[in-house]
Amino acid sequence: MFCSPRRGMIARMDHTGHRSVIDRACRRIDTSDTPPNLATLAREAGLSLWHFQRVFKAAVGVSPKRYAIARRRQRLGEQLRSAASVTEAIYDAGYAASSAAYRDSLALGMAPRRVRAGGENELIRFTTTSTSLGPALVAATGRGICMLEFGSERTLMSELKRRFPKASIERADEALADWVRRVVSAIDTPGTDPELPLDIRGTAFQLRVWNALTRLVPGETVSYGELARRIKAPSSTRAVASACASNHIAVLVPCHRVIGRDGSLTGYKWGLARKRKLLAREKPAGKADR
């Protein structure tokens, strides 16, 4: 789960000139048992400490330290669902001490035992709204938007309950009104940064795909194969397509920007008509379609 108080951990890459540098730094953090410190990352990137910290945060939405915490916490969450005990999961996730695991988890909103319990007692607030692409449901935890989907309330409520079977779910129209306004603005006005925190939940591979998606600017499209190459998994085109189809946060995680190798629109979870409208709106704001 990636989240940030301001923009969400998954954020648009504004400094495209540093894309490869930041991608390498993220992979370095992802694959290290002990996260490298800021000085090491900056040196490997060939940037000063200050400049590296600035471009990393602009690209990813959070500092390198918080990104490392989130990735290690993600591994902990995966281990907690299958390990024999919380202690075993903590050490298998790469923590040297249980206190560090609890500190990381609490900093990001959920203690290890709550994760192991499947988010039991977690509160999910939701509301429905009308958009130019049809009715939509917006749901959020205390950390950010966890679901934005188009469709009927009955169908989407069933999906919300399936995804969070142990959570308390309540309608909160007024409390989410400002977020809904910003969501609608992002749908209708490509390039608008809604500055919404996201509570993204998925496998490590899915998160890599969704992170890459949010680096696409409005008007930019890629094929599934190109997206697989961008995340350094060139043989995983089908898995990339599956990750796009598993996205639960429409538009803000823009899987509509992925098209067929021949330029065709291919599939879209919420219908090709919506995909066509989204891309048509974005085209004047960005680059020409590939």
Active site residue 255: yes
Please state, in angstroms and as integers, the Cα–Cα distance from residue 102 to each residue in 1, 80, 87, 201, following that order: 16, 13, 11, 19
Could you give the CA distance from residue 91 to residue 190 in angstroms, rounded to a whole number?
44
Class of domain 16-116: mainly alpha
CATH of domain 123-188: 3.30.160.70
CA dihedral 80, 171, 161, 268 (to 10 degrees): -100
Token output for 131: 């958009």
Could you give the CA distance from residue 3 to residue 71 in angstroms, rounded to a whole number?
11
Could you give the CA distance from residue 164 to residue 118 in angstroms, rounded to a whole number?
8
Please list, in sequence order, all residues whose beta carbon lies within 8 angstroms of the beta carbon of residue 201, skipping any fewer than 6 positions away. 1, 146
Token output for 242: 């599956």
| DSSP, residue by residue, 58-83 | HHHSS-HHHHHHHHHHHHHHHHHTTS
Q: Which of 3, 26, 244, 255 is catalytic?
A: 255
Terminal-residue alpha carbon distance, the chain:
31
- Backbone dihedral angles phi then psi of residue 169, each to the nearest 5 degrees: -120, 125
Which CATH architecture best describes the domain 204-285? Orthogonal Bundle (1.10)
Strand 145-150 and strand 168-171: the pairing is: unpaired
In tens digits, the chain (290 residues) has pLDDT values of: 333 333 333 333 344 457 788 888 888 887 776 778 889 999 998 888 888 888 887 777 678 887 887 777 666 666 555 555 555 655 565 565 555 555 555 444 445 555 545 556 689 999 999 999 999 999 998 888 999 999 999 999 999 998 888 889 999 999 999 999 999 999 998 877 778 888 888 877 888 899 899 889 888 999 999 999 998 888 888 889 999 999 999 999 999 999 998 889 888 999 999 999 999 998 864 444 44
CB 177 within 8 A of CB 158: no
- Domain extents for the chain? 16-116, 123-188, 204-285
Q: Give the distance, in angstroms, between the CA of residue 156 and the centroid of all CA atoms in the same chain.
A: 20
Closest among 199, 211, 188, 148 to 282, alpha carbons compared: 188
Check for a shared fold between 16-116 and 204-285.
yes
Q: Which of helix, strand or coil describes residue 246? A: coil
